[in-house]
Amino acid sequence: MPDGGYESPVIVTGGAGAIGSVLLRSLLERADEVRVIDNLSSGRREHVPVAPTGKKVVLTVADLKEPSTYEGLFRGASAVWHLAANPDVRKGLTDPHLDLAEGTLATFNVLEAARRHDVPQVAFSSSSTVYGHAKVFPTPEEYGPLLPQSLYGAGKLAAEGLLSAYAHSYGVTTHIFRFANVIGPNMVHGILPDFFEKLRRDPTRLEVLGDGRQSKSYLRTEDCVAGMLLATDRTRDRVNVFNLGSTDQISAREIVEKVVAAHGGRARIECTGGERGWVGDVPLQLLSIRRMQALGWQPRWNSAQAIDRSIAEMVEARRVRSPGSPPG
């Protein structure tokens, strides 16, 4: 993807979501028109930024499983950023068809639309879950075999296979980004929204799935977007695969203690037990980011800082008050 700008419109699937909405702001500095496709199942219309003067953002509410409702948007486009997916890893356990439909088949439809309309470049948001229960930490991109333990991870890995095949079969340049846990503004799923919602329902106790020792890395959306843009600017292989994460980890127990403190420190923390939070959960995750660092990228915040920043934003956005504090 061109360093510094696009000569024709850019498409973003999932552009009303937590990562997509941050990406849109950066793309509007590079393109005159950004076409957003989102079914608004987890994204929010208000998350789509207003285009500055001379720029254009068009939101089409559509389901990627129904190509006829959006395929025309690919005509004349220079690149596709495919971020749309089921955002809830656990949900696939109760609905096994979900990640096949929303992940793998939706990705196939996006790639087919790109192929039919000669869109030369596709960037894809994959996940660290494709590594499964890795035995090498930090886990590099060349680690294998890839044996995901969740249907979400399986869907992402299958989608990666499709991107590779389309790249080699039809000449599409693809970028595959394997994310750690990405957090920041506009989150609606994940550990922090879950904890905040539990405390909203019952301020006296906070349940933690597993034993609290699960340890993972966390990355701010701003760092994630900066990394994706840098990689697409500076790499031109047919298939480009990059991990995006921080260089450290933080445990679920540390996170829950921070959330409880932000709510006044009075809630009782209760762990359900077991090394995994749920079936398919990967209790330990730390990605090697040497490949990205070699391009000149480094996250600005470590895991704890990313968590602290996100908690502070959620406290302000949700107007959380500690017990006994005066009304705001």
- What tens-digit pLDDT sequence spans the chain (328 residues)? 445 589 999 999 999 999 999 999 999 999 999 999 999 999 999 999 999 999 999 999 999 999 999 999 999 999 999 999 998 888 998 999 999 999 999 999 999 999 999 999 999 999 999 999 999 999 999 999 999 999 999 999 999 999 999 999 999 999 999 999 999 988 988 999 999 999 999 999 999 999 999 999 999 999 999 999 999 999 999 999 999 999 999 999 999 999 999 999 999 999 999 999 889 999 999 999 999 999 999 999 999 999 999 999 999 999 897 655 555 4
β-pairing, 250-251 vs 215-216, is antiparallel
Topology of 191-215+248-286+301-317 in CATH?
UDP-galactose 4-epimerase; domain 1 (3.90.25)
β-pairing, 121-127 vs 79-82, is parallel
Give the burial class of 52: count Cβ atoms within 10 A of its Cβ; 0-12 exposed, 13-18 middle, 19 or more buried.
exposed
Q: For residue 83, how many other CB atoms are within 10 A of its CB?
A: 25
Identify the three-state secondary structure at position 192. helix
* Alpha-helical regions (H) of the chain: 18-27, 91-94, 98-99, 106-116, 151-170, 191-201, 221-234, 252-262, 290-293, 303-317
10-183+219-244 belongs to CATH 3.40.190.10? no
CA dihedral of 178, 107, 88, 144, whole degrees rounded to 10: -40
CB 5 within 8 A of CB 33: no
**What is the location of CATH 3.90.25.10 in the chain?**
191-215+248-286+301-317
Say what the pTM is: 0.95
pLDDT of residue 4: 59
The DSSP call for residue 216 is: E
Cα–Cα distance, 114 to 130 (Å, whole number) = 24
DSSP notation for 91-139? HHHH-TTHHIIIIIIHHHHHHHHHHHTT--EEEEEEEGGGGBS-SSSSB
Burial code (b: 16+ CB inside 10 Å, e: under 16) for 290-313 equals: ebbeeeebebebbbbbbbbbbbeb
pLDDT of residue 326: 52
Give the burial class of 250: count Cβ atoms within 10 A of its Cβ; 0-12 exposed, 13-18 middle, 19 or more buried.
buried
CB 48 within 8 A of CB 25: no
CB 275 within 8 A of CB 283: yes
**What is the location of CATH 3.40.50.720 in the chain?**
10-183+219-244
**How far apart, in Å, are the Cα atoms of 184 and each of 21, 194, 204?**
11, 14, 26
